[in-house]
Chains A and B, each alone.
Chain A
Amino acid sequence: MAAVISSGKNEVSGNARPDLGQYYRETSRGLYWEPTYVSRDAVYPKKFIPQSSRIRAKNWDAWEDPFRMFYREYMRIQAKKEMSYHSIADANQRFDVARQIDRRWVEGMKLYMCALSNTENFSANLMMRMARFIPSPSFSQAAMYQAIDELRHGQNDVNYMRWLNRHHGGLDDWMEWFQRHWLMQTARIGFENLFSGDPFEMVIAVNAVFEAGWTNLLFVANPAVGVANGDIMFGQHQLTTQTDETRHIAIGMTGIRMMLEADERNIPVVQEWFDKWSWLLHRIVGGPTSIFIDYFGKKKVMSYKEAFQHYYLKNYIEGLIEDLGPLGLKPPRFLKNMLTENEIYSHALWKNMYEGKHVNMHKIEIPDLAERAWFAEKYPLFKPLYAPFWDAADSGEGLDLGTTFPHCKVCQFPLLFVDAENRPTTDSQTYLGKIHHFCSEPCKWIFNLQPEKYTNLLTQDEIFAQGMVKPEELVSFWATGRAENGRLSRE
């Protein structure tokens, strides 16, 4: 049982304090009973576990949360976290810290917070599905705590927007923006993809890939940049969020290990989900985070590439994933594609957002000369591929795109990525008589795992092409409720 996860060999015994490990076991697995009035299949209906046959779930009964969290202890620690978060929120309010935040960072928060608050609520929903349908009593309990965590994060996001709105305005329409801003469609579709999937796939996607691999970039590297640009509240907000994620990460890593160890037929299934979500999270989290670290933070702390090197390659791939190698798990199939794309990721996105500057609900600035020199030093491809664009912007060219790119059928990103020779990395495929476009080879690979999951989904360019939104309505579609001078302007 516990030996699988924690050897326990270093436990020190003999002290007046109660044995928390024993208390944990008594209040998690100890309260579970096997159903006898109804069958197990009735408790875990196939309808909600569509691919459950793919994971052979032996041993789940013995799974233990490495943090050994139980309700009383959970509430005590979370209350302390909230106390310290709200103390800092109070101090920020009391001393008008919002006025010291760099204006460009505030513009970025319009994008960031409406994406985050909505995805936290999506995550809460996913965690509750895990709690209900993963057949392991201890895992159910851990997943419930995770769901409460996500609700805390989502509510603090809204609280943050309310605070920022008092001083800067322009964060009112965050629910609507999430449905419309093109950069957020990848997150929205990604989570909807998960809702229609298997609870075990959720554990891989959310705990073992998203939270273990990507949240450190999002909630540790990113706030370091926020704090450098005057946003102390953001720093506290994101770091306290991440203290919950450390628990989720430990759960995800032991969960993936349990799946790999239970049955060798699980290995290819786990690998497929791991490869798929590693790439999709590179889109959902990597893309937006790259522009916050490199661009929305006018004052630089590190480049996105450096943050990726530390948190993804060193802490995640070398520190967690490679250690699972003996159980058969290989590093992400598309790791090389990620590394290649990181050389241009933030630059391609920022350029595209500048080209659409009149239809964004946030402002996009031209990077100044010092920033461009910094980019050239950090990213060798910046100078040949992106510097000429900003030189043209300097000389007063409008540089508006005036149209929209086709979007990727899987990740929903516009097809705007190029290789080192400036050749588009796009791909396409005909499926049941209809041609579908992809931003890259990995997205095409993901499409072919379950084509029917994507074929009926309309990308934004398809919505426009079908006349559901008319060309003259594009500005109000994308920039609905855009703030002008801190006030909302609506039709």
Chain B
Amino acid sequence: MTQSSVYQDNKHHVCLELMKGEVADAVLEAIRESNSDVKLSNLPGFLVIEVPERLRIDAESVRDHLGKSDWLMTDLNEIMAAFAGQIETYTEHQFVLSRLTI
């Protein structure tokens, strides 16, 4: 099988794919601030962001990087094109994507 060079595809990672633009840049910076080992793929029109096991976004951090105090956590849906994992938390302060454990 041909190994994909387009995607990184790490096992047990959660994944968020965002439409590119200034909001996506700010969210990416916020993700880097709150998580370690962030992997990034750049595709036509969107970013693919992968983090092992659990990905956390803090709304306050996005607002800081974006320079807009009125950005709300729910605005994430405006640019969130795809994800892998389970939405563990989605409040006005925080969004957490994690592998489901039953």
Residues on A facing B (Cβ under 8 Å): 6-12, 15, 17, 19-21, 66-68, 73, 77, 80-81, 84, 216, 219-220, 223-225, 227-228, 235-236, 239-240, 242-243, 246-247, 249-250, 253, 301-303, 305-306, 309-311, 314-316, 318-320, 323-324, 326-327, 377-378
Contact = CB atoms under 8 A, between A and B. Distances in A.
Interface of B: 1-2, 4, 6-7, 9, 11, 14-15, 17, 19, 43-46, 56, 74-75, 77-94, 96, 99-102
10 contacts: A9-B89, A11-B89, A11-B91, A20-B91, A77-B78, A219-B81, A224-B46, A250-B87, A306-B6, A310-B7
B78 A239 contact: no
Contacts of A7: 88-89
- Chain A at the B interface: mostly helix, strand, loop or mixed? helix
B28 to A, nearest CB: 16
Contact of B19 (A73, A239, A250): A239
Q: Which 7 pairs show the lowest CB-CB distances between chains A and B? A: A319-B84, A315-B84, A323-B100, A227-B44, A326-B102, A310-B7, A306-B4
B45 A239 contact: yes
A68 B95 CA distance: 12
A225 B7 CA distance: 14
B19 A243 contact: yes
B2 A377 contact: yes
A235 B21 CA distance: 13
A377 B1 CA distance: 10
B22 to A, nearest CB: 11
B93 A314 contact: no
Contact of B81 (A243, A301, A319): A243
B93 A15 contact: yes
Contacts of A17: 92
A327 B91 CA distance: 27
Given A227-B44, A302-B4, A327 B94 contact: no
Contact of B85 (A73, A310, A319): A319
B14 A319 contact: yes
Contact of A11 (B11, B15, B94): B94
A320 B94 CA distance: 21
Contacts of B86: 253, 320, 323
A220 B87 contact: no
Given A21-B91, A305-B2, A220 B17 contact: yes
A8 B75 CA distance: 20
A395 B8 CA distance: 41
Contacts of B82: 216, 220, 242, 246, 311, 315
B79 A243 contact: yes
A243 B80 contact: yes
B4 A224 contact: no
Nearest to A247: B77
A305 B2 CA distance: 9
Nearest to A18: B92
Nearest to A9: B89
A374 B89 CA distance: 43
Nearest to B48: A310
A220 B81 contact: yes
Contacts of A247: 77
A228 B45 CA distance: 10
Nearest to B4: A306
Given A220-B46, A235-B45, A306-B6, 6 more contacts: A7-B89, A11-B93, A67-B74, A243-B19, A302-B6, A323-B86
Given A239-B46, A246-B77, A306 B99 contact: no
Contacts of A15: 92-93
Contacts of B1: 305, 309
B74 A77 contact: yes
Contacts of B45: 223-224, 227, 235-236, 239
A306 B7 contact: yes
B90 A240 contact: no
Contact of A20 (B11, B74, B96): B74
Contact of B93 (A12, A77, A318): A12
A11 B58 CA distance: 11
A35 B48 CA distance: 47
A237 to B, nearest CB: 11
B6 to A, nearest CB: 5
A330 B86 CA distance: 18
A311 B82 CA distance: 9
A10 B96 contact: yes
A84 B21 CA distance: 11
A302 B11 CA distance: 20
Given A220-B81, A228-B44, A309 B4 contact: yes
Nearest to A339: B1
Contacts of A242: 81-82
